[in-house]
Structure 1
Amino acid sequence: MHIPLLLLPVLGALARASPIISRASSWPNAPFTTSGRDMKNSLDETVVYAGVNWPGAADVMIPEGLQYQSVSTIMSKIKDLGMNVIRLTYAIEMVDDIYEGVDSSLKTAFVQALGETNGTKVLKEVLTHNPTFTENTTRLEVFDAIAAEAHTQNIYVHLDNHVSKGEWCCSHTDGNAWFGDTYFNVANWKRGLAFMAKHAKSWPAFTSMSLRNELRTTANGTGDNWVSWYENMIPAADGINKANPSPLIFFSGLNYDTQLGTIVDGNDIGNGTSFALSDHAYADKIVWELHNYANSATNCGDIEGSLRNQGYNAMEGDSTAVNTAPVVLTEFGFDQNSGSESVYAQCIKKYLNTLPGGPGGWMQWVISGSYYIREGGQDKDETWGLLNHDWSDWRNQTATDYTKSFVDETLT
């Protein structure tokens, strides 16, 4: 092919520029920031999350389902729904073990949680379905593999600190409820958040992380107040941002993460002070997160009014929202066998997709068809799971159609 000499300088300039263009426009176009009620990528395009929770914080502290399917197969199922994000949960105990010099292998993790006989059996099944793993693969390396596959399939990774001690969540009596609770060592929690933020720098699909899942009162009724929330959450967020300034930081609220109105509205937290986004150098990294499980609701008005009061006024342009930032519903869900036609499911979908200014992000609970172990029961079925027990197909096609249409309406 003959190239005119006059074009050579132009082509040379394009060749030199192309790597920069490629890097600037390559998925996921991170890091993300916030602008008012929206999340933005590095191209200043609005990003909305529509995805699902993938638990990895229970007793084994390994993401669920790998004894039935491969990482890539599970991720492909999520992608088939059109989803663009996973909320990947982890326990601070996993990080504590690493600091103690014991980043548990798959063999150790399964045997400790399930016993010698069942642990060995499940391990063998995991290795059969995921041949790149060995019995010496560590728990954290499994998280690495999931993050790598997420990048391959263009799915964002949102890291969620679900608990401190690896176990099923959540109750007032589980020892994970509030700062200083039985298993909730605050120093270890802050250390764990910073560790995961720094470690995930190597994950191209990593775009955001949470501070803590579902803060709540302890067994003796202590906690769940804004003063203690502020004294603990702000230093923890500072630590994340110092360890890795790239990810968005999700702030959860009180009462199982159903209340953020006081913070969004900039009201007195109880000691004469109030939260102000402008006080924080990383204000453009802060996102509010809420949960909702009002499955018994009988009309949309009750759900909408409740969400608005809990903090969604930040997404509606309400003048009472002093601290306007994106709000993401990081947990909602229902029994897949019967719930998709309920008032609750339909109203959640309608509300989030018709917010003024554009749809709001969400992550459904849960992808899991079953758990390695849940509250002592091994190979426990999950009727709220989008996938069936062996993670091979959808649990209920009608419910799956609801979720897929929810994704389509949110992202188009």
Structure 2
Amino acid sequence: MRKSILVASPGKNKSIRNRISIGLLVYLFTHIFLIGCNEISSPKETETILSLFLNPIGSIAESSAQFQNRNATSSSLSTTTVNPSVPFSTDGRYIVDANRNRFKLKSVNWYGASDTQYVVAGLDKQPIAHIVSLIQEWGFNSVRLPFSNLMLHRNTAVSNESVAANPQFFGKTPLEVYDATIQALTQAGIVVILNNHTTFSEWCCGYDYNGLWYHTGSSFAYNQTTEMWQADWLMMIRRYKNNPMVVGADLRNEVRTMRKGDTHIPDSPNWGMNDVNDWHKASQEMGVLITQENSNILVIVEGINWWGLIPILGSGERPHLKPIKDLPVHLPLSNKLVYAAHNYAYIGPNHNGDDSTSGGNIKYRDMDENTFKSTVQNEWGYVVTPEMYYSAPVWLSEFGASPSSSGAQDQEWLRRLTDVLIERDMDFAYWPLNGNDEWGLLSSDWSRTLKEDWRFQHLNRLLSTNGRTGFVQENHFSNLWIGSGNDNSSTITNDWDNGANKGTCPDGYRLNGLSTNQKALCTDIGTGNLWNSNRNYNVQAVYETPTRYHGTGDWAGGFTKYECPQNFYVSGFSKRSWGTSGILCSQSGINLSNSCRTIWFDRGDNRASNKGGDWAYGSYKGQCGDQEYVGGIAQRNGGASALLCCRINP
């Protein structure tokens, strides 16, 4: 969503709701961050600023009192129409339908349910069926539908004013109206992606209490723990489980630095530090829980939108999906993961949208074309590169522009972004649909589409370009790292090597490479799902395997060797404090060859294939060929040193 402080948006009819108890602090933070960039321009916004002095606790304190009941119903809701072919999965860098045909998300954001009215906007202007028909008229096939956590637990009826054109919603709770919105969309053949936009029901996304997925330590505001956030998501997944047109769960909008407790102290997210602010950990754990509840749902993980300090206190940046290269998200159902990112003209990699606090840092619209394209490629575009250990679909789930923008830079930015999305064949979601928004795609009375302004040529190009179509069958790669804990990408839940850190390849993948720093590469290239349908596996750990199953003799003399039985392949590895300590062997669904060779990598890289990319940067690594499987691993003093690479086909 276009933002206020960390991501300011000029000209937007904002609701600024940072409530603090001391008027001086209100003036300091609100005026330095907002007035400094000429954002407060309407009577409504002036009234909002004044209300901060008159009502310092405001709606956040009210929320704490109103939302004590977190037992929202989790009854399943269903529809009668299933079109297109669902459920969706991923295949490499593409989203595919139930028949493995590519389905490109051409989405639009329809907001309101996460805001102060608790329902999607426009229901006061037009019947919901008419609004849905306008989405179809534009050509969108999917809708990103934001919600706030507090909305889910508000048990009072929505105001009649907010749904005036839809009297069937009089007396309904916000969640019941959200249900009806989903039903109207999906019955029309439009798929829905649920989006946890905010914790509080308010405009997003400044320096507020919504930056992380949890908010605790407040004496007056609503407190939400990570466990409560997880419970909300599981309730939503159960609620729409019987509607297969609800295809995705967008876990959290624009994770960013937020206010800690009741203070203005910055609380920054991170990626991989294994603490309470670790978005990699939180999103991965949430994704596992969701896929356990409903294996048909796409789990959508947006990169970190801002980390570090807020600009007035120092520096910060937008890492987006750059950390994925070092530490991808791994789910037991690896074909359910999608990444997401946002891009707007008025912000930049180190620019928060406010020139008074980010002055000197370049915005995306100020970049030349080559710089812009290389920047977004580095931030999120690289993830859709095929046959890499991090390859996955990327959904640009927010971008947008004002029809009244006459500046050549804004118009050139949208042209360039459109070019990138088409050239990289990426999924997208325009922000927003809303007729009540300056950047919207509908008239202010929500009666018709707006296709007369300069934006249409670019949106029309996006919507009319399909990119790859038809059946998709990609080669897949995934890396593992067990240096600080388990890395399980499989549905195997047993503790197959008790007391050790374990890395397990996705179901049906085989281990293809290993490094000296406890990283591994998994793949299904050349075989597809190699695992026998009986799902048998075998463990060789700690002590050397006494039998040379592959008839190779002492294939790594002087080293401890772990070797799989005949027709088993290595699908996981383990380490104890002293180093590499074992392997997981999965039974193959086909007869495997015993024609094997030793690949040493203790003194340098030794790769029979470069596919998968540099999956263990800065470390020596060994990798078998594309038509080989790993039959064994050798180590000395815990240091992985050699692979037994065997031909797949006899």
TM-score above 0.5: yes
Is structure 2 residue 343 aligned with structure 1 residue 292? yes
Q: Alignment RMSD, CA only?
A: 2.3
Q: Does 1:74 align with 2:131?
A: yes
Aligned positions, number: 340
1:385 to 440, 450, 453: 440
- Pick from 309, 313, 320: which aligns with 2:378? 309
- Which aligned pairs between 1:5-404 and structure 2 lie closer than 5 A? 27-55=83-111, 56-97=113-154, 102=155, 104-106=156-158, 110=159, 122-123=161-162, 126-127=163-164, 129-133=165-169, 135-172=170-207, 174-181=208-215, 183-219=223-259, 220-226=265-271, 227=273, 228-256=278-306, 258-265=318-325, 267=326, 274-275=327-328, 277=330, 280-295=331-346, 296-317=365-386, 321-338=388-405, 342-355=411-424, 359-370=425-436, 382-395=437-450, 397-398=452-453, 399-404=455-460
Residue 209 of structure 1 aligns to a residue in which SS? strand
SS in 1 for 2:303: coil
**Residue pair 2:257, 2:266 contacting (<8 A) in 1 also:** yes
Report the equivalent of 2:362: none
Over the matched positions of the two proteins, sequence identity in percent amounts to: 25
**Aligned-partner Cα distance in 2 for 1:26–1:387:** 27
Once superposed, which parts of structure 1, at least 4 consecutive aligned residues long, lie more than 4 Å away? none
Distance (Å, rounded) in 2 between the aligned partners of 1:404 and 1:256: 31
**CA deviation string 1:123-178 (max 9, x = no partner):** 4xx24x22432x22222222222222222321110110000111100012x21112
In structure 1, what residue type is equivalent to 2:230?
K
SS at 2:147 equivalent = strand
Is the Cα contact below 8 Å between 2:87 and 2:244 reproduced in 1? no
Higher strand share: 2
2:396, 2:427 within 8 Å by CA — same for their partners in 1? Answer: yes
Q: Residues 275 and 82 from structure 1, CA distance in 2 versus in 1: closer, same or farther, beyond 3 angstroms?
A: closer
Native 8 Å contact 2:301 2:340 kept in 1: yes
Displacement of 1:396 in angstroms is: 5.6
Q: Give the TM-score normalised by the residue count of structure 2.
A: 0.50
Preserved contact between residue 353 and residue 409 of structure 1 (Cα < 8 Å) = yes
More helix by share: 1
TM normalised by structure 1 equals 0.77
Q: Which structure has the larger Rg over C-alpha atoms?
A: 2
| Displacement after TM superposition at 1:294 (Å) | 2.8
CA separation in 2, counterparts of 1:276 and 1:169?
Answer: 25
User: For 1:292 and 1:260, how far apart are their aligned partners in 2?
Assistant: 10
SS of aligned partner of 1:202: coil
Q: 1:84 to 1:276 in 2, by over 3 A?
A: closer
Q: Which amino acid aligns with 1:27?
A: N
Using CA pairs below 8 Å that are at least 6 residues apart, which structure has the higher relative contact order?
A: 1
Query: How far, CA to CA, are the matches of 1:401 and 1:138 in structure 2?
Result: 40
Kept in 1, the 8 Å contact 2:82–2:244? The answer is no
Cα distance between partner residues in 2 of 1:250 and 1:352: 18
> In structure 1, what is the Cα distance between the partners aligned to 2:87 and 2:143?
17
Contact 1:96 1:188 in 2 (8 A): no
Amino acid aligned to 2:212: W
Q: For 2:376 and 2:95, how far apart are their aligned partners in 1?
A: 19
Checking the alignment, whether the CA contact within 8 Å between 1:211 and 1:249 is kept in structure 2 is yes
C-alpha displacement at 1:26, in angstroms?
A: 5.3
Deviations 1:82-135 (A, max 9, x none): 1101000001112234xxxx3x322xxx3xxxxxxxxx5x14xx24x22432x2
Mind listing any 5+ residue stretches in structure 2 that lack a counterpart? 1-80, 217-222, 260-264, 308-317, 347-364, 470-650
